[in-house]
């Protein structure tokens, strides 16, 4: 069985046009980085990481339609696209970016081999198997190749602190040169761009609207607030005329002010206990 597989690989390498890939450079990795990358290429079942079923089917149908000319078998397309989406999402990459990388690297040819010896869909260099994988890992295996490729691209992206231009250059072995990142970006935007539909999200508790910067926070309010005045103010016609009190020098010295009265009372015969011929209006 192995001789037949080797013969098929050689025939594909002879018949297929040369790939656009360069070669990733082997670098010394810290033990912690090596262990993390080794754990990242371990096996797991692939699924499309889109929760909404309708959105998931729409993505798969659209990408399958675009890939039909390169991979005629619908089952093979579905398996490849499902694995690409899963591995890209697992590595924290945009699946459309990974499709653009594969488009440039191998033109979606499973057994592509570059002049430098890079292999498979994502043109992974063989030294990565000894560095972060297992010797029995086959870089022509679809899931193995995509797992390695996405993990390596994620590693380069972290190494370049999120700079995609430099990370793609490292992946291609041409760091600092614009040709390869430009081709990947063109394929990403023109061939594999994707806009998710506006799917409504169900929220259990609706969040409160944001508080404006000028508003007073509830913590700044007093613990007990005074009740608002609900009485209707009298109309101007019903209000009594304003009476001006006499000067302070004309007022007799009294210990307490007499209560207001609508009109002064006439003098009486009997002696009142206190003078009430002067009305003081406050």
Altogether, the residues listed in the chain come to a count of: 282
| Residue closest to 37 by CA, chosen among 49, 24, 48, 47 | 24
Which pLDDT does position 137 carry in this prediction?
92
In the chain the domains, ranked by start, together with CATH numbers, are 30-190 (1.10.530)
Beta-carbon contacts of residue 127 (< 8 Å; ≥ 6 apart): 26
Which pLDDT does position 268 carry in this prediction?
54
Which pLDDT does position 138 carry in this prediction?
95
Q: pLDDT under 70 in the chain at which residues? A: 1-45, 198-282
Q: Specify the 3-state DSSP secondary structure of 113.
A: strand
pLDDT tens-digit profile of 40-55? 555 556 788 888 999 9
Q: Cα(134)–Cα(141) distance, rounded to whole angstroms? A: 13
Roughly what angle, to the nearest 10 degrees, separates helices 74-90 and 142-159?
Answer: 30
How far from the centroid of its chain's Cα atoms is residue 149's Cα? 24
Which pLDDT does position 47 carry in this prediction?
84
Sign of the alpha-carbon torsion through 246, 250, 255, 261? negative
Which pLDDT does position 25 carry in this prediction?
63
Q: With left for phi above 0 and alpha for psi between -120 and 50, is residue 173 left, alpha or beta?
A: left
Q: Cα(34)–Cα(149) distance, rounded to whole angstroms? A: 15
Which pLDDT does position 46 carry in this prediction?
78
Beta-carbon contacts of residue 160 (< 8 Å; ≥ 6 apart): 166, 167, 170
Is the overall model pTM greater than 0.75, yes or no?
Answer: no
Helices within the chain (DSSP H only): 2-15, 31-40, 53-67, 74-90, 95-105, 127-132, 142-159, 164-172, 179-190
Which pLDDT does position 197 carry in this prediction?
83
Q: Cα(120)–Cα(74) distance, rounded to whole angstroms? A: 20
Which pLDDT does position 40 carry in this prediction?
57
Which pLDDT does position 133 carry in this prediction?
86
Whether 106 contacts 112, CB under 8 Å: yes
Which pLDDT does position 82 carry in this prediction?
96
Which pLDDT does position 34 carry in this prediction?
59
């Amino acid at each position: 069985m192995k001789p037949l597989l080797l013969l098929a690989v050689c025939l594909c390498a002879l018949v297929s046009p040369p790939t656009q890939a360069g070669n990733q450079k082997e670098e010394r990795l810290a033990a912690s980085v090596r262990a993390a990358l080794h754990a990242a290429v371990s096996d797991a079942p692939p699924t499309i990481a889109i929760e909404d079923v309708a959105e998931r089917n729409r993505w798969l149908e659209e990408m399958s339609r675009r890939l039909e000319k390169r991979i005629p078998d619908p089952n093979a397309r579905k398996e490849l696209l499902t694995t690409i989406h899963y591995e890209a999402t697992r590595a924290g990459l945009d699946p459309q970016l990974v499709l653009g990388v594969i488009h440039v690297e191998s033109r979606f040819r499973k057994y592509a081999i570059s002049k430098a010896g890079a292999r498979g869909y994502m043109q992974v260099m063989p030294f990565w198997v000894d560095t972060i994988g297992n010797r029995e890992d086959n870089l022509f295996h679809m899931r193995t190749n995509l797992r390695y490729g996405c993990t390596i691209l994620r590693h380069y992206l972290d190494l370049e602190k999120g700079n995609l231009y430099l990370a793609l250059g490292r992946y291609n072995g041409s760091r600092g040169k614009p040709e390869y990142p430009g081709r990947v970006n063109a394929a990403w935007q023109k061939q594999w761009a994707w806009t998710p539909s506006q799917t409504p999200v169900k929220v259990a508790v609706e969040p409160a609207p944001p508080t404006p910067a000028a508003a007073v926070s509830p913590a700044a309010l007093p613990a007990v607030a005074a009740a608002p005045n609900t009485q209707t103010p009298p109309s101007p016609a019903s209000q009594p005329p304003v009476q001006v009190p006499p000067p302070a020098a004309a007022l007799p010295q009294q210990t307490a002010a007499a209560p207001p009265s609508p009109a002064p009372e006439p003098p009486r015969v009997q002696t009142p206990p206190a003078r009430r011929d002067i009305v003081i209006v406050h």
